[in-house]
Structures are given as structure tokens and as C-alpha cells.
């Protein structure tokens, strides 16, 4: 089937024709595509068109599509069984790798998605502290869990919809929202509610309002104020974990949270999430403690072997300087093309993550991110797609590079982007 047939049939049986809203391309216009194959740094749609891929399945594919070691491990495991519902050796191996690589984690619990990880982390924080309030940042997205969908980024920001339909007001009121990179707002919130705040959750490098780096000392400030008030600090490293450094953003910035949420890269392309922390906190999770969480497919062997092979490759290869150089080259190349065209823009980059904003303002929080010209972004996206370059179909997301992107892929991508910019 071709793209049009697949999308037409999808609309008959899936809400909006998709299983995740941003895939419908409503924010960028044009017809959505259906992908049928990926190899290395490229993907192909159902019409046979090739794209250089900077979407990377929204971040997980740090080794590129169909990495041979990951595919081989998955193929071998599939023939042994897809799921057992009891402990298997691969989840133990993956847990050891997480504990080895992530500075703050001594024990970890696997789940099936980033949303499950953040939901479980918040429940754990409330169980440990006996408190009810959660502090989050405007524009940060932590999955579609009720308490965390308030003032969220990602698809909620993309479509400009409220994040609370379907969420009882009583639950939404327990989430306190402050601007990112704003110390004064955080201090005021803790002065008013500090004794009742169970946790502060943050993307240490937000990627769901677009990439927004933390200002110097901001993460350390969050560590200090949460410790002062007896509040647990949760780092949502679903995007940044194993991507910005072997130990994630907490290694890169030298700040250790109480609880870490992981996903995306952790599963190497399979559905995997996790939350972890010190032994004292994690001992409160059932069956050791009273905070309940469970999952039939959690730790299933196929997902676990994909994660094991991915993390082993990252641990042994440590490709982070290489990834940083690739993204630096791509971002500088794009910036040069837009500058030559006289188009106002701002590119935020941290390691192998970047976002292009069509604004002349510094982007340091969600308010400034929203000054980007989303209509121009939509035109840019469609021109890139026409020229065989795939980026996220949303202004408020991150581009990614992988170890599979070679110099010639970056060269070819910049040539294609150059053609797209000329057509704007």
C-alpha cells in the first residue's frame, strides 16, 4: 500500500489516523507519511521515498535504524519467547548497566514507557514524603499522566490545546507550575507550599518545548532548594538519558537527583521506561515497600535485550564527542543557510539535540519558545520533507543525530536543506 491508502484506512479505525497526535501533521499541514523501513541514518516511506532522518523515532535511535547488534539480539530472543511474566536474566543485565552508568541510581524498576516512569516516580515521591503537591515547569512534558499534563509541552504545546480536559480540577490543583530558568518563581512557590511539596520534576534539558538549556547553576539551585525543604528532586531523563552523556544530563551537569526517569534510548527502539534512585527510596517500591506499581510486560525479554545491546554499545564506544561534533556541524550549517537568506532564527543545541526556532529572541523558557513563527516552521518542515529530510513535525520538539549519521549524510542533508531554504 502507498502513503495515501495507509493514511486513508488509518482514519477509519484510529482517532485522527494515528496512535500519537503529532504524527497527524496537523501542526505543519500537508499529508502525513507512513514509514516502512529504516536503515542507519535513513528511512523510507510507503511510496518508496528516502529521507535523511533527524527524527530518530523522537530520540530513541541513538545508534540509528536497525543497528546490527540490536537486531541480532532481538531476533535470537524472539525465538525463545516474547514474554514470560516472570523474571528473566536480561532485565537483570540491563538493570546492572543502568546502575553502572547513571550516577544517582542504585536500584531501578522497569516499565513500558516514559509516561509510566514519571507517573510511578511521582507516586513514589508522594508515598515517601507523605505530601501532595508536585512542582513542574511550564512547557516541560512528562507524558500524559494526569498530574503532569498541566501546562505541558510536546503535543499539547504543538496543538495549543489545554492540558486538562479529562483531568479532575481537584487533581490539576495539586500541580504547581513555574517558568523554566526562573529562580524567583521557584523560591516563591516553595515559600508558599514548601512543607506540602512532595517532588519537583524537571527535564534537566527540556526537549519538549524545543531544546532549552538550563542556565548556569539552575539545576544546582533546584538540587539545593529541594533538599532544603525535604522535597524529592526528579529528573525526567527520558530524552536526555544516555543521549547527552553515558550517565545522562546528571553526569553532564554534575547534579544528582533523588529519582531518575528513563526511556527512549534505554530501549534501543523497543518500548521501555524505567525509574530509579538510591536504595533507601527504591526500597519503598512494592514488594519491598508499600508504594505499589506493576506491569505484565515490564521487563519483557525482547525489549530488555534491545536495551542491553544499546547500552553496552554506548558504554564501550562512548560516542558523545562524535555525536556533539555532528550536531554542531549540522546546526551551524543550518544557521548559515538561514542567515544568508535573511531569516530570523535561533538555534538551541545541547550535545546531539537541537531545535530551530524562527524568532529573533533568546529562547530560555516556554514563553520565549512560543514567540517562534510556527507558520514559517510549518512551511520549512514541508520543504524539508519535499527535499528528503525528516525532522519532527512540530516546532516544540528536538532534532537528533545518531552514530549512524556519517559525514556524507550531514553533507547531503545540508545540500537538501539549502534547496528547501531557497524555496521558502
Task: For each of the domains in the chain, give its residue range(s) and CATH number, in order of start.
Answer: 3-66+319-422 (3.90.1150.10), 68-317 (3.40.640.10)
Q: How far apart are CA 287 and CA 298, in angstroms?
A: 15
Which is catalytic among the residues 45, 53, 138, 236? 236
Q: Which of 42, 107, 136, 264 is catalytic?
A: 264
The answer to whether 116 touches 144, Cβ cutoff 8 Å, is no
Residue 236 is a catalytic residue: yes
Give the model's pLDDT for residue 274: 98
Quick one: which of 96, 73, 54 has its CA closest to 398?
54
Tell me, what's the pLDDT at 164? 64
Nine-digit cell at 203?
A: 527535564
Our measurement of the distance from residue 368's CA atom to the centroid of its chain's CA atoms, rounded to an integer in Å, reads: 20
- The Cα 331–Cα 146 span in angstroms is 35
pLDDT, mean of residues 333-360 = 98
- Beta-carbon contacts of 84 under 8 Å, excluding residues fewer than 6 positions away, are 300, 301
Q: pLDDT confidence of 45, banded at 50, 70, 90?
A: very high
Alpha-carbon distance of 158 to 39, in angstroms, equals 28
Cell output for 393: 513535525
pLDDT for res 159: 43
Judge whether 264 counts as a catalytic residue: yes
How deeply is 66 buried, as exposed, middle or buried, from its count of CB atoms within 10 A (0-12, 13-18, 19+)?
Answer: middle
Tens of pLDDT along 98-120?
999 999 999 999 999 999 999 99
Task: Give the pLDDT confidence score for residue 170 in this predicted structure.
Answer: 81
| pLDDT for 148 | 81
The sign of the CA dihedral 173, 175, 181, 185 is positive
Over range 227-254, report the average pLDDT: 98
DSSP 190: H
Q: How confident is the model at residue 135 (pLDDT cuts 50, 70, 90)?
A: very high
Q: β-strands 42-45, 50-53: how paired?
A: antiparallel
Q: Which of 139-153, 253-267, 291-305 has the lowest mean pLDDT?
A: 139-153
Give the chain's mean pLDDT: 95
- Catalytic pick among 51, 133, 141, 145: 141
pLDDT band at 157 (very low <50, low <70, confident <90, very high): very low
- CA–CA separation, 298 and 273 (whole Å): 9
Return the C-alpha cell found at 18.
Answer: 494515528
| Average pLDDT of span 36-48 | 98
Distance CA 31, CA 382 (A): 9
Give pTM, 2 decimals: 0.95
- Angle at Cα 96 formed by Cα 95 and Cα 102, nearest 5°? 85
Sign, CA torsion 182/188/189/195: positive
The residue that leads in pLDDT, 158 or 107, is: 107
229 is catalytic: no
Amino acid at each position: 500500500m502507498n502513503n495515501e491508502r495507509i493514511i486513508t484506512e488509518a482514519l477509519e479505525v484510529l482517532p485522527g489516523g494515528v496512535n500519537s497526535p503529532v504524527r497527524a501533521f496537523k501542526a505543519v499541514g500537508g499529508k502525513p507519511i507512513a514509514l516502512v523501513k529504516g536503515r542507519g541514518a535513513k528511512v523510507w516511506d510507503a511510496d518508496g521515498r528516502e529521507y535523511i532522518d533527524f527524527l530518530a523515532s523522537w530520540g530513541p535511535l541513538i545508534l540509528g535504524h536497525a543497528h546490527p547488534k540490536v537486531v541480532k539480539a532481538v531476533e535470537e530472543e524472539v525465538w525463545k519467547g516474547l514474554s514470560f511474566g516472570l523474571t528473566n536474566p536480561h532485565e537483570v543485565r540491563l538493570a546492572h548497566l543502568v546502575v553502572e552508568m547513571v550516577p544517582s541510581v542504585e536500584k531501578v524498576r522497569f516499565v513500558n514507557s516514559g509516561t509510566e516512569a514519571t507517573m510511578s516516580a511521582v507516586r513514589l515521591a508522594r508515598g515517601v514524603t507523605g505530601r501532595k503537591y508536585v512542582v513542574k515547569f511550564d512547557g516541560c512534558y512528562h507524558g500524559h499522566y494526569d498530574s503532569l499534563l498541566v501546562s505541558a509541552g510536546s503535543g499539547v504545546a504543538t496543538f495549543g490545546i489545554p492540558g486538562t480536559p479529562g483531568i479532575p480540577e481537584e487533581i490539576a490543583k495539586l500541580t504547581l507550575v513555574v517558568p523554566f530558568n526562573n529562580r524567583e518563581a521557584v523560591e516563591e512557590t516553595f515559600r508558599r507550599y514548601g512543607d506540602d511539596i512532595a517532588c519537583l520534576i524537571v527535564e534537566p534539558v527540556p526537549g519538549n518545548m524545543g531544546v532549552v538549556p538550563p542556565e548556569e547553576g539552575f539545576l544546582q539551585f533546584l538540587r539545593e532548594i529541594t533538599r532544603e525543604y525535604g522535597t524529592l528532586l526528579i529528573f525526567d531523563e527520558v530524552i536526555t538519558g544516555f543521549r547527552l552523556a553515558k550517565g545522562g544530563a546528571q553526569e553532564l551537569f554534575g547534579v544528582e537527583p533523588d529519582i531518575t526517569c528513563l526511556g527512549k534510548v534505554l530501549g534501543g527502539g523497543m518500548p521501555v521506561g524505567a525509574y530509579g534512585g538510591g536504595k533507601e527510596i527504591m526500597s519503598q517500591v512494592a514488594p519491598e515497600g508499600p508504594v505499589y506499581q506493576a506491569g505484565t510486560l515490564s521487563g519483557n525479554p525482547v525489549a530488555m535485550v534491545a536495551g542491553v545491546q544499546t547500552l553496552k554499545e554506548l558504554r564501550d564506544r562512548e560516542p558523545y564527542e562524535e555525536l556533539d561534533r555532528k550536531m554542531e556541524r549540522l546546526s551551524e550549517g543550518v544557521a548559515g543557510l538561514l542567515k544568508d537568506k535573511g531569516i530570523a532564527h535561533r538555534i538551541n543545541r545541547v550535545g546531539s539535540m537541537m531545535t530551530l526556532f524562527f524568532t529573533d529572541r533568546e529562547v530560555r523558557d516556554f514563553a520565549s519558545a512560543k514567540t517562534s513563527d510556527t507558520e514559517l516552521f510549518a512551511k520549512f518542515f514541508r520543504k524539508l520533507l519535499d527535499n528528503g529530510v525528516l525532522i519532527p513535525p512540530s516546532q516544540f520538539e528536538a532534532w537528533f543525530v545518531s552514530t549512524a549519521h556519517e559525514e556524507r549524510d550531514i553533507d547531503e542533508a545540508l545540500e537538501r536543506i539549502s534547496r528547501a531554504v531557497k524555496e521558502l
